[in-house]
């Protein structure tokens, strides 16, 4: 600023972390109380600084068994409670989430590394919206399309990922509870803190003990939760590999399952698109949440006639992205969630270079501590490149080109995944045509990464099965009443 009077430097504008009180250690939340775990405790760290935030209990098989038993016991009363009574609890939880939204947002950013602007403006508001939405369904389940008196499934085992810790919790817990199920939830080992704060919110809302149980731990704990014999339903969001392992583990049982897995979404820009807004959509599609989004628009498909123009605009726009302290209100891209994930992103980016794609990042200074990866774009990518096929789950965009709408469809669908896709055109008929052709659970038109509790979400092919959100999301937690009509 001193040298060039024209340069407008934004001074640091950090959100205060004093609003949230992180305890030195956390137990498991079983039957309405925090109890010690019997596995070996692990640490949750702040990925932006690598400081240890808290020591977290690990649930062993016996702890998981206790949690499932508590959930089973609570199921007897919770499932028989009139829907309008259950909805009161859910409304109460939703309101407490709103009241404590700043606390939740700050904690989410500290534990996960995502920018406060996203946790504050996206994650937490959508979490509250999800609880409000399903609270409204609790006494209207006969209109869910599953017969006059649909029944809950029982105990739901829910395993959620680290990219949207609290939001994925809401996607799982809200519909399960609304439908009369009880849950045993395992948050990701790198991001358990907001789930544990949610446990406190359940206490604050006087939720009956055992309706929500939260067991922390890594893969082994997750495995114990989903393979517990007294679990009726498994809901998982995470990698395709783990999803397949879960599907194998529950094969032959009568457990119902919904799996929301990986993605390699095509974001397709036609030459008649509103280009400036398309560039914004490309940026939010891949750089939102550091690209740690299963439905991220990680494959950009540009019509050749506008490819150069869009790339020039995109690069200029990427130059304005601010990478750094997640708690700074002006940060656009925060920290990568873990050393492990950073290593994976680096490895795939190197493969991209080795395979001959051209790598570009805007000049940006990365903090010395913590896990960081600059926003990166690869051009000259073809379908044969691994960066066009593998889910990178980071701020890395692969750019391909196409000439005609049918070529765009072929390339977009030529992936083992099918979670989401984006279409950018000012031509309404083309949007409808593309949406019809694309094999993806969500097709966004002239926008990207928009989430609403009323809108179902889920994938085709290796992106999983079942739907979450909306009326469709209820069927994952209900069965038609077999006695109906008797």
Partner 1 sequence: MPPTVSTEPNQGRNQGSSPGLSAYADVTASETSLRRFLHGLPGVDQVGAEARAAQLGTRSIKTTAKAHALDLAIRMVDLTTLEGQDTPGKVRALANKALRPDPSDPTCPSVAAVCVYGDMVGEVKSVVGDRVNVAAVATAFPSGRAAMDIKLADTRDAVEAGADEIDMVIDRGAFLAGHYLQVFEEIVAVREACQRPDGTHAHLKVIMETGELQTYDNVRRASWLSMLAGGDFIKTSTGKVQPAATLPVTLIMLEAVRDFREATGVQIGVKPAGGIRTAKDAIKYLVMVNEVAGTDWLTPDWFRFGASTLLNELLMQRTKLATGRYSGPDYFTLD
Residue placing its CB nearer to partner 1 in the complex, 1 or 486:
1
Residue placing its CB nearer to partner 1 in the complex, 7 or 251:
7
Pick one of 280, 355, 407, 481: the residue that binds partner 1 (CB under 8 A): 280
Total number of residues shown for the chain = 486
Stretch that binds partner 1, among 48-56, 278-286, 389-397, 399-407 (CB under 8 A): 278-286
Q: Which residues inside 303-362 make contact with partner 1, applying CB under 8 A?
A: 320, 329-330
Q: Are 9 and 1 in contact (CB under 8 A)?
A: yes
Stretch that binds partner 1, among 93-101, 241-249, 277-285, 287-295 (CB under 8 A): 277-285
**What track of x and - describes contact with partner 1 for positions 427 through 446 (by CB under 8 A)?**
-------------------x
- Tell whether residue 8 is a contact of partner 1 (CB under 8 A): yes
Over its C-alpha atoms, the chain yields an Rg (Å, rounded) of: 22
Count of residues in contact with partner 1, rule CB under 8 A: 27
Q: Are 156 and 231 in contact (CB under 8 A)?
A: yes
**What track of x and - describes contact with partner 1 for positions 115 through 144 (by CB under 8 A)?**
--x---x-----------------------
Stretch that binds partner 1, among 32-40, 43-51, 199-207, 270-278 (CB under 8 A): 270-278
Residue placing its CB nearer to partner 1 in the complex, 281 or 326:
281
User: Which of 228, 309, 203 is closest to 66 using CA atoms?
Assistant: 228
Stretch that binds partner 1, among 40-48, 69-77, 267-275, 365-373 (CB under 8 A): 267-275
Residues 6+ apart with CB under 8 A from 263: 294, 295, 296, 298, 391, 417, 418, 419, 420, 459, 463
Tokens of 419: 């979670």
**What is the DSSP pairing of strand 396-402 with strand 299-303?**
parallel
Q: How many beta carbons lie within 10 A of that of residue 197, not counting itself?
A: 22
Q: Catalytic residue numbers?
A: 260, 294
The least CB distance from residue 11 to partner 1, in Å, is 4
Q: How many beta carbons lie within 10 A of that of residue 220, not counting itself?
A: 14
The label of the residue with tokens 């939703």 reads 94
CA 461 to chain centre: 18
Pick one of 10, 18, 21, 483: the residue that binds partner 1 (CB under 8 A): 10
Q: How many beta carbons lie within 10 A of that of residue 69, not counting itself?
A: 18
Interacting residue ranges for partner 1, rule: CB under 8 A: 1, 4, 6-13, 117, 121, 272-278, 280-281, 320, 329-330, 426, 446-447
């Amino acid at each position: 600023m001193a040298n060039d009077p024209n340069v407008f430097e934004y001074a640091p504008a950090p959100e205060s972390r004093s609003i949230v009180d992180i305890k030195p250690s956390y137990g498991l939340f079983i039957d309405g109380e925090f109890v010690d775990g019997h596995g070996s405790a692990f640490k949750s760290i702040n990925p932006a600084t690598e400081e240890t935030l808290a020591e977290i209990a690990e649930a062993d098989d016996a702890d998981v068994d206790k949690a499932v038993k508590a959930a089973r016991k609570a199921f007897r009363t919770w499932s028989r409670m009139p829907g309008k009574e259950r909805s009161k609890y859910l409304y109460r939880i939703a309101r407490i989430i709103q009241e404590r939204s700043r606390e939740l947002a700050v904690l989410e950013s500290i534990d996960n590394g995502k920018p406060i602007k996203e946790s504050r403006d996206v994650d937490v508001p959508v979490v509250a919206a999800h609880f409000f939405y399903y609270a409204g369904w609790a006494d209207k389940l006969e209109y869910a399309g599953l017969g006059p008196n649909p029944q809950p499934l029982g105990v739901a085992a829910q395993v959620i990922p680290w990219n949207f810790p609290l939001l994925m919790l809401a996607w799982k817990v809200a519909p399960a509870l609304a439908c009369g199920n009880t849950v045993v939830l395992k948050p990701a080992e790198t991001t358990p803190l907001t789930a544990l704060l949610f446990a406190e919110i359940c206490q604050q809302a006087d939720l009956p003990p055992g309706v929500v149980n939260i067991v922390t731990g890594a893969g082994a704990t997750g495995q114990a939760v989903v393979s517990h014999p007294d679990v009726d339903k498994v809901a998982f969001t995470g990698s395709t590999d783990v999803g397949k392992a879960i599907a194998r583990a529950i094969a032959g049982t009568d457990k119902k399952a919904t799996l929301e897995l990986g993605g390699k979404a095509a974001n397709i820009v036609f030459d008649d698109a509103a280009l400036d807004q398309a560039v914004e959509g490309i940026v939010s599609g891949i750089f939102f949440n550091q690209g740690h989004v299963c439905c991220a628009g990680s494959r950009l498909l540009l019509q050749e006639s506008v490819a150069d123009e869009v790339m020039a605009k995109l690069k200029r726009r990427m130059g304005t992205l601010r990478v750094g302290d997640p708690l700074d209100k002006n940060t656009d891209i925060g920290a990568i969630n873990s050393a492990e994930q950073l290593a994976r992103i680096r490895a795939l980016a190197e493969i991209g270079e080795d395979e001959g794609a051209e790598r570009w990042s805007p000049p940006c200074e990365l903090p010395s501590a913590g896990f960081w990866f600059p926003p990166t774009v690869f051009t000259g990518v073809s379908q044969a490149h691994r960066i066009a096929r593998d889910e990178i789950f980071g701020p890395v965009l692969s750019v391909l080109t196409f000439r005609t709408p049918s070529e765009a469809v072929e390339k977009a669908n030529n992936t083992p995944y099918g979670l989401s896709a984006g279409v950018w055109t000012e031509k309404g008929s083309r949007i409808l045509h593309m949406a019809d052709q694309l094999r993806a659970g969500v097709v966004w038109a002239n926008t990207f990464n928009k989430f609403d509790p009323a809108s179902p979400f889920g994938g085709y092919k290796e992106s999983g099965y079942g739907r979450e959100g909306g009326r469709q999301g209820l069927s994952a937690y209900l069965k038609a009443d077999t006695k109906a009509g008797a």
